[in-house]
Amino acid sequence: MTLIYLLLALLAERLISKPDNCHGNFYLDRYISWLESKHYLNTTTTTSVMWLLWLLPGGLFAVALMMLNSGFIDFVATLFVLFMAVGCPELRNTYKCYLQAANRGDIQACDMYTQQLGLASYEPRSFGQHLIWLNYQRYAAPMIMFVVLGVFGVIAYGCLRALHGYSQANALQAQPALAKVLHIIDWVPIRITAFGFLLVGHFSRALPKWISLLFDTSKHAKLVLAEVATAAEDVICADDDITTEPTTLVQLAKRNVLFILSVVAVLTLSGLLP
């Protein structure tokens, strides 16, 4: 069933135009707004309370499904959570607008779209490497979390990212602890995703880079993905070419999603996954 859930969620994400209430951020934003209204989120919120706020939604959802004990409800609810978690039409549309502006030669508009996609001017990563990171957050990470921890893992990971972003923006006391937890949780999925780049990209050139970063706990997950992806793909473009690098790395990320699905299929056929 794990493979079927993933296939259906990815297919629906491509074929169905998501309304606002079918975005994961729609519910995460309202959850954070509710926490603010109840004064659970403020500069003095302790790390232990933040842990509870992080794990509570996923835990309650999983317990509710167990108590209902209905195969149909479990199927629909799990598929809906996956559908909300994977992909993001807004980001995809912004990226398309970036490519259209680049083809027109509108550099100012391109800069605006890169900022809308969350790439700060001081970032050491390129735009294509940033898109690799966005793809990981919206596709690879939810898929891996679902395979390992089920629907609880998908919800918990989304809540952790949302709370970390809020804590970072508002300088909360628990922000360093959340950042450390997110770094630890991302550690294995990042290495799995980066390993996929080897198999769908330039294996012999990217393998040494992947091995050198395999046990490096100090480097941020964004930079690990960026360096391995760049090594796994040939990106040769002129200085004024601002489309080749992002489109090439986006294609690499898309192939990697298919690789993850292939691994899930093999594990399912071998009986290691339900």
User: If DSSP states are collapsed to H, E and C, what string results for the chain?
Assistant: CHHHHHHHHHHHHHHCCCCHHHCHHHHHHHHHHHHHHCCCCCCCCCHHHHHHHHHHHHHHHHHHHHHHCCHHHHHHHHHHHHHHHCCCHHHHHHHHHHHHHHHHCCHHHHHHHHHHCCCCCCCCCCHHHHHHHHHHHHHHHHHHHHHHHHHHHHHHHHHHHHHHHHHHHHCCCCHHHHHHHHHHHHHHHHHHHHHHHHHHCCHHHHHHHHHHHHCCCCCCHHHHHHHHHHHHCCCCCCCCCCCHHHHHHHHHHHHHHHHHHHHHHHHHHCCCCC
Q: What is the mean pLDDT of residues 140-152?
A: 95
Q: Are 82 and 154 in contact (CB under 8 A)?
A: yes
pTM to 2 decimal places: 0.91
Judge whether residue 145 has pLDDT over 80.
yes
- Per-residue confidence band for 238, with pLDDT thresholds at 50, 70 and 90: low
Contact between 114 and 131 under an 8 Å Cβ cutoff? The reply is: no
Task: Write down the pLDDT at residue 59.
Answer: 95
Amino acid letter at 43? T
For tokens 């990815």, what's the residue? 10
The mean per-residue pLDDT over the stretch 239-251 comes to 85
Q: What rounded mean pLDDT belongs to the chain?
A: 90
Max CA distance (Å), the chain:
59
In this prediction, residues 87-95 reach a mean pLDDT of 85
pLDDT tens for each residue of 33-69 = 999 998 888 888 888 999 999 999 999 999 999 999 8
> In sequence order, which residues have a C-beta less than 8 Å from that of residue 163 and are 6 or more positions away?
32, 50, 53, 54, 178
Asked if residues 142 and 82 have their Cβ atoms less than 8 Å apart, the reply is yes
Neighbours of 86 (CB within 10 A): 23
Q: Which amino acid is at 106?
A: D
